[in-house]
Chains A and B, each alone.
Chain A
Amino acid sequence: MTNPFKDVLNSKVILLTGTNTTANHPIIANYIHEAVTKRGAKLIVADPRKIKLVDISEVWLRPRVGTNVAWINGLMHVIIRDNLQAQAYIDERTTGFDELKKCLAKYTPKYVADITGIPEKDLIAAARLYATAGPGSIFYAMGITQHTSGTNNVKSLASLAMLCGNIGIEGGGVNPLRGQNNVQGACDMGGLPNVFSGYQVVTSEDIRDKFAKAWNVAKLPDKVGMAVTDMGNAAGKTIKALYIMGENPVLSDPDSHHAAKGLASLDFMVVQDIFLTETAKLADVVLPSSCFAEKDGTFTNTERKVLRVRKALDAPGAALEDYRIIAAIAKRMGYPMEYSNSSAIMDEINALTPSYGGITYARLDKEDLVWPCPTKDHPGTPILHVGRFARGQGVFFSIEYQPSAELPDMDYPFVLTTGRVHWHYHTGTMSRKGTALNRMYPEALAEINEEDAKRLRVADGDYVNIVSRRGSIKVKAVVSNMTDRGVAFVPFHFYEVAVNQLTINALDPVSRIPEYKICAVRIEKAA
């Protein structure tokens, strides 16, 4: 996120898209609610699902799934047409505006309405509101990124924010809501194929030298590695072995039949987890690790704030902290890795990662720190891009709308979209182990629109088969107006209703994020 989430209290207008915030980021939803009900901010929701915050919105746009670039371009078209853009900000801080303008010319409200199904007057109202209300913030989540056009969707939102001078100010910003608790930290720490910690690229010789020296190795690999989804596809082929720490790709990967087959054909697989997950069952060796309550360390939340995790309990049986396990394997492979505790690892992170340079345990006990925080006396950076963009000039990308990889047709007339519900988390390995959350939401439910249900003769509580080109699942239907006509939503927390057997393994060309949010299916009442 470019801005802290409490900063939404300074926003006068809030655009929320592709996020069921109330269910997935409850605390941020609380602050949005407070901004609207107590501070008079206006809320625009652009989401195919009728999420809870629609209740307090000023405008709700309901685009067809997968048409994000079109409606975002439409908003920008109207803003420029009505001359509501922040021209001084654009002139001073950005480039690419003229090309953008050219690209947007054809995205008239009429043109956009045909693609997205959004009524012209709603689009115009939303554009004017966002451009004129005052500081405006944008929040988005996987509903924006989990498309083959995901990277483009994100760039388009950034353009929209820049167009109105909303980046680098209080109450503004473009704020991705990261899903899992420490996605931000996992990225920050270099759990990515192209960068070391702090987004230092592996292709730079200077950077490689710096790490090689600190890590005491002769050289480090210079070729960008493979992304998770690509490793999955190459499993059993060019990838012979996988070491998986705390992930459950068999349930979370798209087209999971295919993913499981790949993993099963590996020469060797190690899984380190707290439970025997569906993925661990395929492993050659399973190592018992510790959960968050059993170890010391830090998480970095979605606003880039580094937060302490503290050991409260001893892990069960012989289970060990992940860092001790990694170090033990390294040692046996002939590389000594000795750390007396997690704080010693943080010292090394401080030394090698400029953005984390000043983030020490001693400071975290006393204050909140938001990276970039390069030195021990730096206060941290809650708002990014103040005054100027981190990379110099802000660039407007001119992006054309492109349809999703798999659209509904005669044989598969419905759009399937996946996500989470309030009561569960990811593949359910944690949330489904206790009784509490299962009491609230015991089994997977497919949300189906009322009118579709009538046509399919499906009643609330009936079981349906949802079938795609890749697989089929049987699931209980819940009939509502939460989803649009022609759209079904199924959460992915349930191994017995493994919805990712249906989803398509089509990736965004840049981010390599799979298109979970749209694939074509047919729905039939189960016998």
Chain B
Amino acid sequence: MSTVKLTIDGQEVIARQDSSILQAAKSAGIKVPTLCFHERLNPIGSCHLCVVEVDGKGTPVEACKTPVADGMSVVTSSDMLAGMRRKSLQRLLAHHPLDCPICDKAGACRLQDLVFELGVRADTYEEPKDRVEVAYATSLIKYWRDRCVYCQRCAAACREIKGVGALEFVETDGVLELTVDPEKCVSCGECLQVCPTGALTENLSPLKARRFVGKKVATTCTYCGCGCQIELNVLDNRVASVIGRGDAAVNQGSMCVKGRFGYEFIGSDQRLTTPLIKRNGRFEEAGWDEALDLIARRLNKIKSEHGPDAIGGFSSARCTNEENYLFQKFMRAVIGTNNVDHCARL
């Protein structure tokens, strides 16, 4: 791929020919504010926050969707641009309630950050005349219509990343409306992962923990062999929510319905909490010492009576590498058999 040379804020920048001004600026360490732009999506161009001045063009252009050109000269910050950005933001705030105190997204909201960064006030907010609760296609995700800033990331992600295309923005009488096709939606939650505001939120956890309140733990999803990199948000020893980790090379922030919403089993009241020993056909609760002693005694006895190959072990594709390693070590070194396998085949 050939490259072009341009200047951004007086700095000479070499960029790939097919890159946008935004990408070129980013590669040179120059920050341009954005809202609708998302790394994995084609530029949407709906928020107009990324405006920059380009020599020879009368009006500023959106950096996210304007390709670079050889010899181009770009300015990313000026009083005029700052004014335009503030106006764009104010236009959004005219319909976006600042209900941050009751919003799931507070503290992790791109809009909130921008308002803070650019020092905008929401003087122009107009209460919507009719507050309609728009039900989402699935009971797992909630759509707070008033908070939507119509960036359209959600629909783009559903279409471009997931290939599902359940979300669409339809314009009637100049008003954009998010429509959801319940037949297509699989509740993967990609939409809420990319939503920059609290317009799309998860509707599952009874536990409310903002992202800056809970303990955040980076880990790996337990469901399938993709191994998505995820973050558990934990409060009071319960998982309050799961999100995809955007920095990770594996899933780049994406997840599926199991990974995002399948965490309830962790806190299920059906979890085993104590060893159980069967006596006369019924399980009785037991202490660890009692259970472990019984196991050691029985296994030793069977081993001495029938030989080690009369004992078999199933290790587990759900356990960690370390546990699987230890399990086969146990079967081979302690029991003395190679009868160890797991359900990989099943």
Contact = CB atoms under 8 A, between A and B. Distances in A.
Given A30-B254, A274-B272, A293-B266, A330 B330 contact: yes
Nearest to B263: A434
Contact of B256 (A246, A285, A319, A422): A422
A301 B258 CA distance: 16
A521 interface: no
Contact of A182 (B186, B229, B321, B336): B321
A309 B220 CA distance: 5
A184 B225 contact: yes
B217 interface: yes
Contacts of A316: 271, 273
A513 B341 CA distance: 12
A321 B271 CA distance: 14
A440 B312 CA distance: 38
Given A181-B222, A313-B237, A242 B322 contact: no
A196 B328 contact: yes
A332 interface: yes
B224 A221 contact: no
Interface in A289-320: 289, 291-295, 297-303, 305-314, 316-320
Nearest to B279: A284
Nearest to A325: B292
Nearest to A228: B341
A183 B225 contact: yes
Nearest to A191: B315
Contacts of B295: 243, 270, 285, 329, 332
Contact of A437 (B161, B219, B261): B261
Contact of B250 (A187, A305, A337, A342): A305
Interface stretch (B70-78, B100-108, B300-308): B300-308
Contact of B321 (A239, A241, A349): A349
A330 B334 contact: yes
A241 B261 contact: no
A288 B274 contact: yes
Interface in A334-357: 335, 337, 339, 342, 345-346, 348-349
B177 interface: no
Interface in A66-82: none
Contacts, number: 457
A86 B341 CA distance: 39
Contacts of A404: none
A439 B137 CA distance: 12
A402 interface: no
A301 B250 contact: yes
A285 B275 contact: yes
A50 to B, nearest CB: 15
Contacts of B339: 193, 225-226, 231, 239
Contacts of B299: 241, 243, 268, 329, 333
A323 B341 CA distance: 17
B273 A242 contact: no
A369 B264 CA distance: 30
A33 interface: yes
Nearest to B323: A322
B149 interface: no
B170 interface: no
B138 interface: yes
A228 B275 contact: no
B175 interface: no
Contacts of B266: 291, 293-294, 313
Contacts of A333: 296, 299-300, 334
A309 B219 contact: yes
Contact of B273 (A288, A305, A306, A312): A288
Interface majority SS (helix, strand, loop, mixed), chain A? mixed
B41 to A, nearest CB: 10
B219 A310 contact: yes
B338 A194 contact: yes
A284 B277 contact: yes
Interface residues of A, number: 147
A7 B157 CA distance: 20
B296 A215 contact: no
A319 B333 CA distance: 25
B322 A297 contact: yes
Contacts of A133: none
A189 B321 CA distance: 6
A510 B99 CA distance: 63
B59 interface: no
Contacts of A178: 225, 344
Interface stretch (A20-28, A450-458, A462-470): A20-28
Given A220-B333, A284-B277, A288-B271, A180 B312 contact: no
A30 B294 CA distance: 49
Contacts of B326: 322-323, 326-327, 337, 339, 345
Query: 10 closest Cβ contacts across the A-B interface?
Result: A434-B264, A317-B273, A301-B227, A297-B320, A225-B338, A246-B316, A288-B272, A302-B225, A332-B296, A26-B256
Given A318-B275, A434-B264, 10 more contacts: A33-B162, A37-B160, A52-B163, A186-B316, A197-B328, A243-B295, A313-B238, A337-B329, A431-B258, A440-B187
Interface of B: 138-140, 160-163, 186-188, 204, 215, 217-229, 232, 234, 237-239, 249-251, 254-258, 261-266, 268, 270-278, 283, 286-288, 291-296, 298-300, 302, 306, 308-334, 336-346
13 contacts: A186-B315, A191-B316, A221-B332, A227-B341, A243-B311, A245-B319, A298-B321, A298-B322, A423-B258, A434-B263, A436-B262, A437-B258, A439-B139
Interface of A: 5-6, 22, 24-30, 33-34, 37-38, 52-53, 56, 145-146, 177-194, 196-197, 202, 211-212, 215, 217, 220-221, 223-229, 231, 238-247, 249, 252-253, 267-268, 270, 273-276, 280, 283-289, 291-295, 297-303, 305-314, 316-323, 326-330, 332-333, 335, 337, 339, 342, 345-346, 348-349, 368, 422-425, 429-431, 433-437, 439-440, 511-514, 516
